[in-house]
Amino acid sequence: MQQARNRFGGSAAIATAIAIAAVTVISTATASSKETAAGTIAVTERTLVLSYRDGNDIVRELQVRRTLTGTFSGTEVSLVHNVTHPDGSADLTVVSSCSCTVEGRTGTVTFSERATVDLAGVITVRRKIIDATGGLEGLRGRLEVSDLLAAPAQAYTGRYDLD
């Protein structure tokens, strides 16, 4: 009886160790490595499409063209919904489409963005890739900007994965 217990106890411990090792190998094999992204975004053109008041807020719909340099390089067109509050701060919701090159591959990347502008004139943007086509199909990632709105170009940083 004691020999049977040791055999099963030992087998259970070995089976558990093998299962843990297998899960680790599978997780490592399927997990994609994230690459670091850095560069700049510069506005090249702004076109006011619509402006109206909503209570005390001023709402502007804009078409904005930008140039990206660095990890993501290319040109993009953005549709910006800008709500400026009476104190001068603002909230923005943006969809951008970039004809970009990343790691030598070209395609179109679509970003969904949320941004705020504080009273000191600092814009904070969180950009999430929601679609990518062409040579960039499968691209995933997030970029962040926190810089002076009045700067000629804002620096971005982030992480991405290009399968």
Distance from C-alpha of 162 to C-alpha of 32, rounded to nearest angstrom: 9
Distance CA 66, CA 78 (A): 8
- 48 and 71 in a common domain: yes
Please list the helix, strand and coil fractions of the chain in percent, rounded to the nearest 5, in that order.
Answer: 20, 65, 20
The answer on pLDDT for 13 being more than 60 is no
User: Is 40 in the same domain as 7?
Assistant: no
Q: Does 14 share its domain with 65? A: no
Backbone angles phi, psi at 12, to 5 degrees: -65, -40
Top pLDDT among 13 and 143 is at: 143
Where is average pLDDT lowest: 19-23, 42-46, 51-55?
A: 19-23
Based on the structure, what is the number of domains in the chain? 2
What range defines the domain where residue 140 resides?
Answer: 35-161
Q: Tens digit of pLDDT for each residue in 56-86?
A: 999 999 999 999 999 999 999 999 999 999 9
Report angle CA 135, 144, 38 to the nearest 5 degrees: 60
> Between these two residues, 136 and 23, which has the higher pLDDT value?
136
Q: Mean per-residue pLDDT for 136-156? A: 96
**pLDDT higher than threshold 70 for residue 124:** yes
Indicate if 116 and 151 belong to the same structural domain: yes
Tell whether 39 and 26 lie within a shared domain. Answer: no
Distance in angstroms (rounded) separating the CA atoms of residues 54 and 27 = 50
Answer yes or no: do 88 and 115 share one domain. yes
* pLDDT at site 147: 96
Nearest to 53 by CA among 89, 79, 83, 8: 83
Tell me: do 141 and 62 sit in the same domain: yes
The answer to whether residues 70 and 149 belong to one domain is yes
C-alpha distances in Å from residue 3, one per residue of 10, 14, 32: 10, 16, 45
Q: Answer yes or no: do 9 and 52 share one domain.
A: no
The answer to whether residues 25 and 53 belong to one domain is no
Q: What are phi and psi of 24, to 5 degrees?
A: -65, -45
Whether the per-residue pLDDT at 155 is higher than 90: the answer is: yes
Q: Which helix (H) or strand (E) covers residue 151, if one does?
A: none
Average pLDDT, the chain: 86
- Domain CATH for 84: 2.40.350.10
At 28 the pLDDT is 37
pTM (two decimals): 0.78
Q: In terms of domains, do 104 and 54 share one?
A: yes
Contact in structure between 105 and 91 (CB atoms under 8 Å): no
Contacts with 151 (C-beta within 8 Å, 6 or more apart), sequence order:
none
pLDDT recorded at residue 32: 54
What the block records as the tokens of 70 is 């660095």
CA distance 98 to 111: 8
Of the pLDDT bands very low, low, confident and very high (cuts 50, 70, 90), residue 54 is very high
Q: What's the pLDDT score for residue 45?
A: 97
98 with 23, same domain? no
pLDDT bracket for residue 163 (50, 70, 90): confident
